[in-house]
Amino acid sequence: MLKVALVNRKRYLNFIEDQPFRNFLQYPSWADLKTEWQWSSELLGWFTQDNQMVGCALVLYRKVPGLNKFLAYIPRGPMIDWFSDIPLEQWFAPLFEHFKQLNVFSVKMDPPLVRRKWYSETIMESVKDFESHGLQDKKITDIRPDKIFNEVEKIQQELGKIGWKQNVGEDSFDTVQPQFVFRLNLQGKTIDQIFAEFHPHWQKKINQAEWEGVEVTLGNEQDIPDFYQLLVETAKLEGSQVRDISYFEKMYETLTTEDPQRLRLYLAKQGGQLLSAALAIHVDGHTWDLYSAKYMKSDPAASYLLRWKMIQDAYVLGDHTFDFRGISTTLNEKDPYYDLLRFKVGFNGEACEFMGEWDYPLIPMLHWAFYMYMKRRG
């Protein structure tokens, strides 16, 4: 039988560095950031009877106002051997016992496992085929996947059997973490091969930005206000919300304290004018395009060059994956989310569907009441 116990930061970091599905949301620095915004946290480990550590999880806790009850959230985790011979029930039973002692009424997780993939070429050809037949309101999920991971499908079934409930949204961004992301595989390729596989229009835009004198540099904490101003302007035009600048200042501080390479601020400028900017987050083997913004009144070529610089740096760091993060499933050209998908698809990667967000009600009535309240809140 496995047991769950608290682990110190050093032991946790040593363990997670060897995990194949490690991601920034499961690193202690992410918990350090979230504690500034009313989340508490724990670093947990799974142990065998001979005290060998075989799994870990960063857990965030949010207290319910007016009650001594907590929501537990495991972002893009836990880091367990999902495909081991140990039944999933034996992984989660000791975790639930731990949560019950902390007055947790509901557990949420979004495991780091990809269920299906679609290649860029498949998506682009399917869009053309839909258009030629006059088909509208299609989604990525209407396209036959290039890869289906049956072992992940099996895990989904097993989670359902032990009481986990999948939280199914209408689109990728209806859950806490996007269910669909876009990734570029860097393994086994030279940097010239990676560039050569971009869509010709993307190559042209990158070259155009270089010809026009756009320069991409790395910023530091002093550049956060300029990045933030561009982010606010982008959000206004898109009709979206953006966090307060203090969130990004704290993010830079906490993540770079854990590892100087964990967070990098990219700035694309032309003649002193900031045209595009992005925050990239890195753990060994993987870089994510976390937040990005662009000057809407300029030609978008700078954004193409900025991503190319980010990809080059990820390659130099030895990463196997550059992650463009969330995409919508819509293939409707009139939907603003489709422009985001089209931009990412041109870099010739893969649309990846995670197995999704799952909830486990430890106190079913309170779980139901809480989620009804959240639903009414909008």
DSSP, collapsed to helix, strand or coil, labels residue 183 as strand
Tell whether the model's pLDDT for residue 370 goes beyond 80.
no
Q: Which residues contact 296 (CB under 8 A, 6 or more apart)?
A: 233, 234, 237
pLDDT tens profile 282-330: 999 999 999 999 876 666 899 999 999 999 999 999 999 999 999 999 9
User: What pLDDT sits at residue 241?
Assistant: 83
User: What pLDDT sits at residue 170?
Assistant: 78
User: How much of the chain exceeds pLDDT 90, in percent?
Assistant: 84
Tell whether the model's pLDDT for residue 373 goes beyond 70.
no
User: What pLDDT sits at residue 299?
Assistant: 67
User: What pLDDT sits at residue 234?
Assistant: 84
User: What pLDDT sits at residue 334?
Assistant: 86
Q: Which two tokens stand for residue 197?
A: 């596989």
Domains of the chain with bracketed CATH:
3-112+357-377 (3.40.630.30), 114-149+162-354 (3.40.630.30)
pTM here is: 0.95
**Tokens 């560039």 sit on residue:** 195
Tell whether the model's pLDDT for residue 378 goes beyond 60.
no
| Mean pLDDT of the chain, nearest integer | 94
pLDDT tens profile 111-134: 999 999 999 999 999 999 999 999
SS3 content of the chain, % helix, strand, coil (to 5): 40, 25, 30
- List the beta strands (DSSP E) in 160-285: 165-167, 180-185, 215-218, 263-270, 273-283
Q: Which residues contact 65 (CB under 8 A, 6 or more apart)?
A: none
Identity of the amino acid at 320? H
